Amino acid sequence: MTNMSIELDAVSKSFGPVEAIRNVSLNIAQGEMFGLIGHNGAGKSTLFKLMLGLLPASAGAVRVGGVATASAQFRQVRRRIGYLPESFVSYDNLSGLEVLQLFADLKQVARAECGRMLRRVGLADAATRRLHTYSKGMRQRLGFAQVLLGDPALIFLDEPTNGLDPEGIADFYTILREAQGRGATIVITSHILAEIQDRVDRLVILDAGRVAALGTLAELRARQVLPSHIDAQLLPGGGAKAGPALAHLAGVTTIVDGERVVIACAATLKAPVLAALAPMLVDVTIREPSLEDLFLGYGGTHGRAH
């Protein structure tokens, strides 16, 4: 597949006085599944539009597949890109198949592809129904079929799982993995941090237009050194014994509520904590720091522009 790496070199974008993107530099490798996280107004959609060449940068350079988005040759590159915007335009009086055929014509893809795509996203039975009868999730699936037409080498998805049920979300990621298996580069935004955290290879956290953090989830976790939480249910009388049993472990915080104890500790102390509690343990759940925790730790609580 064509090289579809993305390079952003000190990119800024202002809308009048609003600095939507501030000095962002990052590389997304060919074949990578890359996540873009940030609160409302953090700059995610603007960054997408810069990478799609739909907006010119105020400063810096964006290259996709080695071609500057500002150059005339970028038109050729754009043909290999699939894009699902946050709100997919729908034509209520057309059927799903007709909408897809319209996009196939625009993308110069054979109309025969449309039936296969509708089957792939689970809309085969609804192909000839008009869009006004589609649920939000079905519209989202149709948008996804539109993106996949022509097997794009680079796929941008802005909040793609909005309106999808859990089964739809699982299907969606299966299809994305298939595209990634063919070598496609995928960039995806989501507000549902728990959903994206185990699925992307790397991610960037944007805060008020700046890169607040960039790396794999493991790297972000390691840098933040956030605690793991052990939620333990103990035998009768165990609540009172938990503190003394853990006293030899430094840096462990324990909250006791009857026979239930919640322990916050460094990842390296999980095994010693469990060993100390083992004689009185009934049940245990371990919660690792989520992307939400990381996000808050990286300053994601501010920078909301609206």
Ligand X SMILES: Nc1ncnc2c1ncn2[C@@H]1O[C@H](COP(=O)(O)OP(=O)(O)OP(=O)(O)O)[C@@H](O)[C@H]1O
Which positions lie near ligand X, rule CB under 6 A? Answer: 15, 18, 20, 38, 40-46, 86, 305-306
What are the CA-CA distances from residue 147 to residues 57, 176, 218 (Å)? Answer: 25, 11, 30
Residue 177: how many CB atoms within 10 A of its CB? 12
For residues 62 and 245, which CB has a smaller minimum distance to ligand X in the complex? 62
Which CB, 24 or 294, lies closer to ligand X?
24
Distance of closest approach, residue 300 Cβ to ligand X, in angstroms: 11
Q: Least distance to ligand X from the beta carbon of 209, Å?
A: 7
Distances (CA, A) of 180 to 35, 174, 201: 14, 10, 11
| Minimal distance, residue 159 CB to ligand X, in Å | 7
The CA angle 188-189-195, to the nearest 5 degrees, is 90
Q: With respect to ligand X, which residue has the nearer C-beta, 41 or 183?
A: 41
In sequence order, which residues have a C-beta less than 8 Å from that of residue 215 and are 6 or more positions away? 202, 203, 223
What is the C-alpha to C-alpha distance for residues 230 and 221, in angstroms, rounded to an integer?
17
Residue 20 or residue 114: which is nearer to ligand X going by CB? 20
Q: How far is CA 69 from the centre of its chain?
A: 23
C-alpha neighbours within 13 Å on the C-beta side of residue 214: 8
Closest separation in Å from C-beta 31 to ligand X: 25
Spatial separation of the C-alpha atoms in residues 264 and 285, rounded to whole Å: 12
Q: How many residues does the chain have?
A: 306
Residues 6+ apart with CB under 8 A from 8: 24, 25, 26, 27, 47, 50, 51, 60, 61, 62
Task: Look at phi and psi of residue 295 and say left if phi exceeds 0, alpha if psi is from -120 to 50, else beta.
Answer: alpha
Q: Would you say 20 or 273 has its CB closer to ligand X?
A: 20
Cβ proximity to ligand X: between 43 and 239 the closer is 43
Minimum Å gap between C-beta 211 and ligand X is: 13
Q: Which is nearer to ligand X, 45 or 197 (CB)?
A: 45
Give the whole-angstrom CA distance, residue 19 versus residue 184. 31
Minimum distance between the CB of residue 206 and ligand X, rounded to whole angstroms? 7
In whole angstroms, how close is the CB of 156 to ligand X at the nearest point? 12
Nearer Cβ to ligand X (20/164): 20
In the complex, the smallest distance separating the C-beta of residue 44 from ligand X, rounded to whole angstroms, is 4
Residue in 194, 191, 197, 154 with CA at minimum distance from that of residue 176: 154
